[in-house]
Each structure stands twice: as structure tokens, then as C-alpha cells.
Amino acid sequence: MRSRLAALLVPLLLLSLLPAAVAAAAPASERAAEHARVLAYWTPARMRAATPRDVSFDAVRGFQPAARPGGGGGSGTTTGSSWNGGGDMLRGSGKVWFTIGGSDYICSGSVVKEAKTDQAIVLTAGHCVVENDGTFATNFVFIPAFDTKPTYTCAGTQYGCWVADALYADKAFATAGGFNDTAVQHDWAFAVVSDGGLNGTTQLNTAVGDGYPIQYNVDFTGQTLSAFGYPAAKKYKGSDLVYCRGPVGTDPGTGGTTWSMPCDMTGGSSGGAWVATTNTSTYSYGTTTLSSLNSYRYTGVSNMYGPKFNDRTKATFEAADAGTLPSTVVRTFLP
């Protein structure tokens, strides 16, 4: 069973990295120039052309790219429905654009609760920020509430485009050598953004609200969680915030070290948050916590899988929040 599942492993984005060199943060003037460059890079044509890099296993050719662009709020069980509930979940979730290996890609992300007034933090998947040759992504942009105004110009979106100043990932993911059992257990990352947006707003949390706190070291086996994201492959179009809600189990293919949930979201949803909530009607910041994220799938299996948030997840987030670099974390500043 283990070998069969390993052969069918389908990461939504097959990306990993080797240890990256630590750089110094750029002065404010350089960051402003870099932000302007990134925003100029993301023309409407580039945004539309960016693809999720989901991968399918072919028995003859091995892992092959299979991405191709592809659909209300509610409390019932679902394996993939449009989220029409609005509120904090719509504002606190968004799409991620980035460049890696000379190609442009999309993922999903969520705003994390933190206390600073000069920055904000976005949770996404580790494979959405780094490549397996040790090169971090560039041109990293987060657009919250994309579903509200799904246009491809920053000025046309609800809250504008937010450019990352730094990216943080777990070193175990960074040194896994490929999208394997070690990688999927540590497939989280955090992007630090400082300014941007519309209407003179200079802080992401001011625009969209507090964001969601993260919980660590919780056993969700048998509990019901919800997963959110912007799937853009196969039947999905990439402009609609989609959610799944169902019972949580573990993946026998990783020896039970990652979570599973019935869900048919596809590439582009990678990095979207799994949440625990006491109110499925609102998913408000005050009643909802980040619990995992969309990481990988298997061909022919209508489940989504995600990492278990633990002390290493906490260390990665705290490093991003404080600007530190503990031994379990890798980081890059942009530029």
C-alpha cells in the first residue's frame, strides 16, 4: 500500500529547495523600487497566463505537468463548493502570484494574525516559495479577496496587490531533496509584506482585518475542518474562492504523518488554509484558527492532504514575525 501511494503522489506544485544564503534586508528606498518593479512585472497578460503547477504521475513518463485552467457559504459537508459567505474568510484569503525557474505560477494564501503595524504575514505552502535548486521565488504578490473583484490589474482589485519583502520556509522542507515524505510533513511557508494596497492603506491587516491565528500540535483526527483556496485547474477557473468541509483523517501513504480531507480542489488551491471554527456561517477571525493547508493530492483519489502544524511551524512563523533566523528555518529577502 505504501509503495503504491508513493508512486501516485501528486504535489500541487512540485517544488523544493536546498539551503539558501541569508541576505540583509534592503533599505526602504530599495524595497519601494523593488515593489514598483514587481507591480510593473505583473501585467494583466502575465497574471492570466500564470499557471498552477500540479503534477500527475504517468507510469511511463513519471511525474509530468498536468496543469490547465479549469467553479455559497454553507455549513454542510462538501468536497468543493463556491464560498458565497463573504466576511473575514473572503477578505483573509487570496491568490498568490510568483516566478520561479523562469515561469509564472499561482497559489493560494491566507492572512495570519500578528501584532506589528509595519508588516503583515501571509501563510502559503512551502512549495509555493522555493525551487529544488535552492532558488526562492521572485515577483511574489498576494491579492486578498480576489473573488470580490477578479480582475488582473492591481487598481481594479478590492484591496490591491501586496508584494513580499521576505519569504520564510522550514529547513527540513528545504533540504528534503524532492517532494517526498519529509517535504510534505514540512510544506508551509510565510511571506512578509509591508506596504501596498489601495486608498492609501499601508498595512494589509488594516485593509482586511486582523487575520487568523495559527494553532499547533492539535490532533484533528475525526474532527471536521474546512479547506479554502483558489483552484485553477480542470473544472475550476481560478477566480472563485472554493471550500471543502469534511472529516479529517491521516494519510497512510506517509505513515499517518500528514492530514487528509475529502476534497476535489485542484492546482492553484495549493497553500490555501485549512481552518477549525466554532461558526461555519461566518468563519470570523475571532472564532477560526489556521490548522493546516492544501499541500498535495494523489491521482484518482478525491482527497486533499496537508501538513500537521507543530513546533517547527511555530518556529517558522515566529521567525517571519520577528525577522530572526533560527536553525530550523531558511529565509530570503526580496530583493
pLDDT tens digit sequence for 90-114: 999 999 999 988 999 999 999 999 9
Q: Which domains does the chain have, with CATH numbers?
A: 2-16+28-58+68-322 (2.40.10.10)
pLDDT digits (tens, 9 = 90+) for 178-200: 888 898 999 999 999 986 665 55
Paired sense of beta strands 189-196 and 78-82, if any: unpaired
Distance CA 96, CA 140 (A): 7
Segment 72-78 shows an average pLDDT of 61
- Distance of alpha carbon 16 from alpha carbon 178, whole angstroms: 6
Cα(167)–Cα(184) distance, rounded to whole angstroms? 18
| Residue-wise pLDDT tens digits, 128-182 | 998 766 789 999 999 999 999 999 999 899 999 999 999 999 999 988 888 888 9
C-alpha pair distances (Å), 128 with each of 3, 190, 194, 270: 26, 10, 19, 8
